[in-house]
Amino acid sequence: MRFVFVIIFSILILALLVCAITAWRSKKSIGVHVSLMLYGLIPPVTGNMIIIASSSETISKLGYYVYFLGMDFMMLMVINFTFRYCGIHGQAAKIRVLVHALMSLDFIQYLLNPFFHHAFDTQPIMVDGRVYHDLISHWGQTYHRVMDYGIFFAMLFIFAYKGIKSPRIYAERYYVILTSMILGGIAETIFIFTDQTVDIAMIVFAVYGFLVFYFSLYYRPMRLLDRMLANIASEMPEALFFFDANNTCIWANEPAIRLANLREGMFEKAAPQLKRIFGSLQQKPGDWKENYVSGEGEKARYFELEQHMIRNKKESVDGYFLSVRDRTEEQNALQKERFLATHDRLTGLYNREYLYEKIRERLKKEPDRNYVVAYIDIKDFKLVNDIFGNEFGDFALKQLANRLRVECSRGTIYGRLVSDTFGICMPEERLDTERFAQIMSRFVVKNDDRSFDLITHMGIYKITDATLDPSVMFDRARMAMSSIKDDYRSFVAIYDDEMRKKVLWERHISTQLDQAIQEKQLVPYLQPIVNASGKIVGAEALVRWIHPEDGFLSPGAFIPVFEKNGMIAQVDQHMWRETCQILARWKEEGRDLFLSVNISPQDFYFMNVESVLCEMVRKYGVETGKLRLEITETVMMTDEEKRIRILDQLREDGFIVEMDDFGSGYSSMNLLKDIHIDVLKIDMAFLKKSENDQKAKTILHSIIHMSDALGITALTEGVESEDQYLTLTGMGCSLFQGYYFSKPVPVEEFEAMVDQA
Ligand code: C2E
Ligand code: CA
Ligand code: CA
């Protein structure tokens, strides 16, 4: 029997040694403490083994010393470990100092035992037919036991306390050790108070050591982990489904239960339900991530699916999980945002930027196909707003947008450019201008209480250069449209080479104007104005551009361009200055002639006409009466009251104001009653077509008569024949201008003409 225990103890010692070494090498910080504690268990077990094995008194005694001193060492190590394992720090940990002191005392008293025999003695007894040295304890031994029990109970208390205080899942790591300690304590107690020869408590101690080893270094609270993972999984916004290797759902979180419409616990229904929603996608094996859209239009739902296989160490599949994220809301918000950024709010059509982008895209995609862009403009849309209000204006725009939606076939890109203009891009073969003219050019906008006939004009640019930016393409289309803007009969115009040339020309001369003025390439030509007796009394200054490369340019080549872009103001100021200089020179030379200059309607936008003119005549010392100012009816078309005031002011300053091109407009007569002018320049041109017509003569006669009655001087321009001159004189006209007398000529030539007469 003793032999069996020797073997058991040897095995335990060996096992403890292995564990102690392993623990020492552990990367965990508690490893050292566990290791020391395991080492601490070895001496008492060894001591006991010696006692059992030996028959000699000396060796047995040695065994007892190893046993008791080892016990002290072990207790020390157990304390250290316990504090560590239970996480006791700070003040409480100071108690260790006291324990260490008491233990040291015990250690010392055992070292003194050979001399005083106060702790223990041995007595030989027979066991298994062999001598065994049994222990006889004295008070020193009692001190040792009290000490050990004290510490032991303190440790028990600490583990029990931690066990109670910790969450249930954690408690087990304390209770397991607590239990093994209690068992060890009981076994030891039995050994002490009964006549046992072998301390079987040593075996329990060793088991305790192994438990500590495991729980400190290897144990992971799986149930805790489970709980945590399950909690996290339930809280996830994604729907999570866990499947085993047989494709059976074993768990699903709350969102997943809702998504697959599972009743609690009916997880196995998940697979068929998912198949119903996601079709075959659900059965796709392996790791993947995919987007899925179910339904269409407003009912569309957007999902993001992700599947991951769970493999074990042998690389075979244990199961897998599927996460499904419902991104519908996100997607809708995104789409709404994108829609707002790319569409016009009022009409819902593409906005300009997006239209351009779409066109660029298309042209790039189909480089071999011919496309056209069309620019649509509503005629007098401002009028619609002014008369019917903005609300009706908006309504009209929406109606037009709807018309576009209906008429534009698939593959046609269209959108709203800005305010009342729309843009279209389509393959050239689909362009049917006649049809367009029919359906788009005129349509009735009608709401509950009013209706209005909208007229639209369309300009078309056939894309010959696809590298141009759509803005330039629409510019060209717009240009084509402008060419028919005021035409009531044509609705569609196509940008062509002539227009292109025109644009280039416009750019060409516009960039050169400043320099031309500086270098006096712009010169006044004078066309004589004669009185009824044929005497030259003055002249009209008409601009000519002596261009260094393009040669002689008459106003028709550049005046309309500058009237359009506003640069006419520079031309006019230059002409006024030149004219003033001539008048100043004439004054010195004693020539009593007047000069008339043209004032463009645009001038009023770009300068204070009145102060500029006053400043000029003052500067050159010219009499205001010698500078006549020609304005046209169009000047009065905007800001009429303000313009009337300006004209009155100019007349007060002494300028003579002439109404130019009278008769070419349509409100001429009406205008005369509101404004004050000195001279009426009647354009013969409008009568030319019906020269022999008696009616024309009657009209001319009445105009001259009327101006006479109003105290306004009549001047006829465009007089080309003696016959005309005589007739007009007969009618009472007092001033004349026209080729019959002279064309506009350079100043010197004009002066020579005057001198000859
Ligand atoms: P306008 O002011 O009506 O000038 C008269 C135009 O009729 C001149 O053309 C003149 O050469 C032409 N003309 C004169 N007598 C006859 C005639 O018997 N028969 C015909 N068929 N034509 C005649 P021009 O010089 O080419 O000027 C054209 C227009 O250019 C002018 O019309 C005027 O509106 C504008 N213009 C000319 N110079 C200036 C200027 O310095 N400033 C501004 N703002 N406009 C100018
Ligand atoms: Ca004129
Ligand atoms: Ca004229």
Point out the least confidently predicted range of 413-427, 434-448, 534-548: 434-448
Query: What are the residues whose beta carbon lies below 5 Å from ligand 3 (ion)?
Result: 660-661
Sheet containing 239-244: which strands, arranged edge to edge?
Answer: 249-252, 239-244, 317-326, 301-311, 288-294
Give the ligand with the smallest distance to the CA of 628.
Answer: 2
Report which listed range, 120-129, 164-173, 385-394, is most confident: 385-394
**pLDDT top residue among 499 and 517:** 517
Is 556 near ligand 1, meaning CB less than 6 Å away? yes
Q: Quick one: average pLDDT of 281-294?
A: 84
What pTM, to 2 d.p., does this model score?
0.52
Ligand 2 centroid to residue 548 C-alpha, Å: 26
Where residue 94 falls among pLDDT bands split at 50, 70, 90?
confident
Instruction: Give the pLDDT of residue 192.
Output: 81
Model confidence at 663: pLDDT above 70: yes
Mutate to test the pocket of ligand 1, among 530, 564, 595, 598 (most ligand atoms within 8 A of CB): 598
- Ion ligand 2 contact residues with beta carbon within 5 A: 598, 630, 660
Q: Across residues 522-526, what is the average pLDDT? A: 98
663 in ligand 1 pocket by Cβ < 6 Å?
Answer: no
pLDDT (tens digit, 9 = 90+) per residue, 561-581? 999 889 999 999 999 999 999
CA of 731 to the centre of ligand 2 (A): 22
* Residue 411: band (very low, low, confident or very high) from pLDDT cuts 50, 70, 90: confident
Q: How far is 733 from 719, CA to CA, in rounded Å?
A: 12
Task: Determine if ligand 1 sits within 6 Å of the CB of residue 57.
Answer: no
Is the CB of residue 739 below 6 angstroms from any atom belonging to ligand 1?
yes
Cβ of residue 601 lying under 6 Å from some atom of ligand 1:
no
Ligand at minimal distance from the CA of 542 is 1
The segment with the largest mean pLDDT, out of 186-195, 394-403, 692-701, is 394-403
Looking at the predicted structure, is the pLDDT value of residue 3 above 90? no
Interval 719-750: pLDDT, tens: 999 999 999 999 999 999 999 999 999 999 99
Which atom belonging to ligand 1 lies closest to the Cα atom of 563? 44
pLDDT level of residue 513 (50, 70, 90 thresholds): very high
Q: Which residue has the higher pLDDT, 657 or 183?
A: 657
Q: Could you tell me the pLDDT band of residue 529, with boundaries at 50, 70 and 90?
A: very high
The pair of structure tokens assigned to 601 is: 């309607």
Reported for 464-473, long-range contacts at CB under 8 A and 24+ positions apart, including other chains, are: 466/363, 466/367, 466/371, 469/356, 470/355, 470/356, 470/359, 470/360, 470/373, 470/423, 470/425, 471/356, 473/359, 473/373
Q: At residue 595, does pLDDT exceed 90?
A: yes
Spatial CB neighbours of 5, under 8 Å, sequence gap ≥ 6: 49, 52, 198
Which of 42-46, 240-244, 620-624, 682-686 shows the lowest per-residue confidence on average (mean pLDDT)? 682-686
Ligand 1 contacts CB of residue 596 (under 6 A)? no
Q: What pLDDT does residue 519 have?
A: 97
Residue whose CA is at the smallest distance from ligand 1 atom 44: 600
> What is the per-residue pLDDT across 298-350, written as a single tens digit (0 to 9) for each?
888 899 999 999 888 777 888 888 999 989 999 889 989 998 999 999 999 99
Number of the ligand closest to the Cα of 737: 1
Q: Taking 60 as the threshold, does the pLDDT of residue 479 lie above it?
A: yes
Instruction: Specify the ligand 1 atom closest to the Cα of 737.
Output: 15
pLDDT for res 370: 94
- Of the chain, the percentage scoring pLDDT greater than 70 comes to 98
Q: Is residue 629 lining ligand 1, measured as CB closer than 6 Å?
A: no
- Expressed in angstroms and rounded, the spacing between residue 556 Cα and the centre of ligand 1 is 8
pLDDT the model gives residue 603: 96
Could you tell me if the CB of 598 is within 6 A of ligand 1? yes
Q: Which atom of ligand 1 is nearest to the CA of 720?
A: 18
Q: Which long-range contacts (CB under 8 A, 24 or more apart) does 2-5 make?
A: 2/52, 2/53, 2/127, 2/128, 2/130, 2/132, 2/198, 5/49, 5/52, 5/198
Q: What atom in ligand 1 is closest to the CA of residue 683?
A: 3
The average pLDDT across 698-702 equals 87
Q: Which two tokens stand for residue 354?
A: 């997006």
Nearest CA to ligand 1 atom 21: 718
pLDDT of residue 666: 62
pLDDT at residue 555, rounded to an integer: 96
The mean of the pLDDT values for the chain is: 89
- The answer, yes or no, to whether any atom of ligand 1 lies below 6 A from the CB of 80, is no
The Å distance, Cα 542 to ligand 1 centre, comes to 6
**CA-525 nearest atom, ligand 1:** 25
Check pocket membership of 573 for ligand 1, CB cut-off 6 A. Answer: no
Residue holding tokens 């200054």?
541
Query: Which ligand 1 atom is nearest residue 717's CA?
Result: 15
> Which token pair is 243?
């499947």
Residue 494: pLDDT band by 50, 70, 90 thresholds? Answer: very high
